[in-house]
Amino acid sequence: MEIYNTMSRQKEEFKPITPGEVKMYVCGPTVYNFIHIGNARPMIFFDTVRRYFEYKGYRVNYVSNFTDVDDKIIKEAKEEGTDANTVSERYIAECRKDMEALNIMPATVNPRATQEIGGMIEMITKLIDKGFAYVAKDGTVYYRTRKFPEYGKLSHKNIDDLRSGERALLVTGEDQKEDPLDFVLWKPKKEGEPSWPSPWCEGRPGWHIECSVMSRKYLGDTLDIHGGGEDLVFPHHENEIAQSEAANGCTFAHYWMHNAFLNIDNRKMSKSLGNFFTVRDIDGKYDPQVLRYFMQTVHYRSPLNFSAELMESAKTSYERICNCAQNLDYLLEKAQDGEMAGEKEALAEADSYRVQFEKAMDDDFNTADAISAIFELVKWINSNTDESSTKAYLEALRKELLTLTDICGLIVEKKKTADPFSEHVEEKIAERQEARRNRDFARADAIRDELRAEGVVLEDTKDGVKWKRA
């Protein structure tokens, strides 16, 4: 399996630190509003990465944070006349709803910055002790980038050019930095902001330190994969590397994966530009699964332009896959047991699409080609099944299709809606069984009579209690 590593700028064979295990950290959203569909791109893509590793038999430890202390959250809280915690709690809950709608598996852990302040103070102390950080007069703690000679290795930027550029941009108040590229680890509290005590001043952490601390706590000093959108390469991930490698004295992550932007009219979709749709906006118009499908029709390192036409086309394609799965279910209801000549050979042919799918995914998670393989399988199934197909054959094809759609996190079968009356009858039957186990036959008979009054007849069989409407 090959992964493109932003660090080396080439595809590399994936070798896990621990055989059979993947330790992944993906930078999550800042929770001050509903997530937009640009934010959903890394969520969907890295969830598919995780699902594919799991399919391959790896145990994946997947950690993704919520940034719940930040200028934007504080600003939103001020505008609403509430506190930052109320804002972040609300949008974490909303984000989880969107993730569920997009069929994103719950992370192993979703740490939150405000719950990990102790760890951040510990790491900052260590960086100061090792000479990698310094405390300015007002209590701000800065990272000393000159002390970390590899600073810039991920973003491949010319650091000296950056330094002179930044120097020209230095604004008043920042001149307490030793170097223009030094960044904040801890900053003093301002009136009305959330704050915590620290050895340097009452204040709050800078943004970058949370990911270094939380990834180490839940995954260890070295990660297999660190991911996020490409806007995070510099400075966020560069700064995470500087912090973690200086504090822990070892490589921070073996593979750095970054998704390209979701654009609208060829500009990055972002809250600050105001050119965004939230996942919730889309949910009103399309099944969120269509969005999930759409995101995977393009390779994750290519920009993806959002448009109504492309969403319509994604909808049509997604529905074709759903129709195929539903058609299989329909045929299965009537199919006979037994074996038919040629079915074994046909199944081997169908399996070649799985091989094609894997080949695409093994090549740096090429979901675009993987989806094409699903499509070809759908076409093949449509022309190689009918009322005469046997049960075992149809079941094998159903499994083949659903295995692949499941790796892409696509739900293609109709959700079975529970029938409230059946649920009620099942509950009563369970209650009656319990009464019988307790030798409370009067209660058991009473339940039988109650159900009979509702038009339900019970039948005790060797396979348990069956029921039918009278």
Query: Contact positions toward ligand AMP, by CB under 6 A?
Result: 27, 29-30, 38-39, 41-42, 228-229, 231-232, 259, 261-262, 268-270
Which does residue 114 bind out of Zn ion, ligand AMP, none, counting CB within 5 to 8 angstroms by kind? none
Q: Which amino acid is at 389?
A: S
Q: Which amino acid is at 173?
A: G
Residues 334 and 421 sit within 8 Å (Cβ to Cβ): no
26 binds Zn ion (CB under 5 A): no
Contact pick of 27, 31, 213, 325 for Zn ion (by CB under 5 A): 27
Please state the closest distance from residue 339 (CB atom) to ligand AMP, in A. 49
Provide the token pair at 54: 């799991």
Question: How far is Cα 1 from Cα 203, in angstroms, rounded to an integer?
Answer: 45
Question: How far is Cα 190 from Cα 36, in angstroms, rounded to an integer?
Answer: 29
Please state the closest distance from residue 240 (CB atom) to Zn ion, in A. 6
Which does residue 211 bind out of Zn ion, ligand AMP, none, counting CB within 5 to 8 angstroms by kind? Zn ion
Q: CB-based contacts of 371: which residues, under 8 Å, 6+ apart? A: 293, 296, 297, 408
Which helix (H) or strand (E) segment holds residue 254: the answer is strand 253-259
Which does residue 269 bind out of ligand AMP, Zn ion, none, counting CB within 5 to 8 angstroms by kind? ligand AMP
Please state the closest distance from residue 88 (CB atom) to ligand AMP, in A. 12
Which does residue 203 bind out of ligand AMP, Zn ion, none, counting CB within 5 to 8 angstroms by kind? none
Which residue, 88 or 389, has its beta carbon nearer to ligand AMP?
88
Which residue, 215 or 317, has its beta carbon nearer to Zn ion?
215
Please state the closest distance from residue 78 (CB atom) to ligand AMP, in A. 19
Which residue, 5 or 88, has its beta carbon nearer to ligand AMP?
88
Contact flags string 44-63 toward Zn ion, x per CB under 5 A: --------------------
Contacts with Zn ion by CB under 5 A: the residue count is: 2
Please state the closest distance from residue 27 (CB atom) to Zn ion, in A. 3
Please state the closest distance from residue 230 (CB atom) to Zn ion, in A. 13
Please state the closest distance from residue 30 (CB atom) to Zn ion, in A. 10
Please state the closest distance from residue 121 (CB atom) to ligand AMP, in A. 23
Question: How far is Cα 60 from Cα 454, in angstroms, rounded to an integer?
Answer: 49
211 binds Zn ion (CB under 5 A): yes
Which does residue 319 bind out of Zn ion, ligand AMP, none, counting CB within 5 to 8 angstroms by kind? none
Cis peptide before 235 (omega within 30 of 0): yes
Phi, psi of 222 (to 5 degrees): -120, 130
**Strand, coil or helix: what is 53?**
helix
| Residue-wise burial string across 382-407, b where 16 or more C-beta atoms lie within 10 A, e elsewhere | eebbeeebebbbbebbbebbbebbeb
Of 240, 204, 221, which Cα lies nearest the Cα of 70? 204
Single out the segment in contact with Zn ion by CB under 5 A; choices: 204-212, 265-273, 320-328, 359-367.
204-212
Which residue, 38 or 180, has its beta carbon nearer to ligand AMP?
38
Please state the closest distance from residue 43 (CB atom) to ligand AMP, in A. 8
DSSP assignments along 29-40, one per residue = -B-SSPPBHHHH
Please state the closest distance from residue 231 (CB atom) to ligand AMP, in A. 5
Of 96, 18, 36, 32, which Cα lies nearest the Cα of 64? 96
Single out the segment in contact with Zn ion by CB under 5 A; choices: 23-31, 131-139, 195-203, 394-402.
23-31
Which residue, 30 or 389, has its beta carbon nearer to ligand AMP?
30
Which does residue 29 bind out of Zn ion, ligand AMP, none, counting CB within 5 to 8 angstroms by kind? ligand AMP
Which does residue 111 bind out of Zn ion, ligand AMP, none, counting CB within 5 to 8 angstroms by kind? none
Listed in order, strand segments (DSSP E) in 260-396 are: 262-264, 267-268, 304-305
Angle between helix 238-248 and helix 208-219 axes, rounded to 10 deg: 50
Half-sphere exposure in the Cβ direction for 296 (13 Å, CA): 34
How many angstroms separate the Cα of 447 from the Cα of each of 420, 438, 439, 458?
18, 14, 14, 10
In the chain, count H helices and then E strands: 15, 15
The C-alpha angle 377, 381, 386, rounded to 5 degrees, equals: 180
Taking CB positions, which residue lies at the least distance from ligand AMP? 229
Which residue, 27 or 184, has its beta carbon nearer to ligand AMP?
27
How many angstroms separate the Cα of 300 from the Cα of each of 41, 52, 286, 304?
8, 15, 22, 8
Which residue, 257 or 377, has its beta carbon nearer to ligand AMP?
257
Please state the closest distance from residue 220 (CB atom) to Zn ion, in A. 16
Applying CB under 5 A, the residues found at the interface with Zn ion are: 27, 211
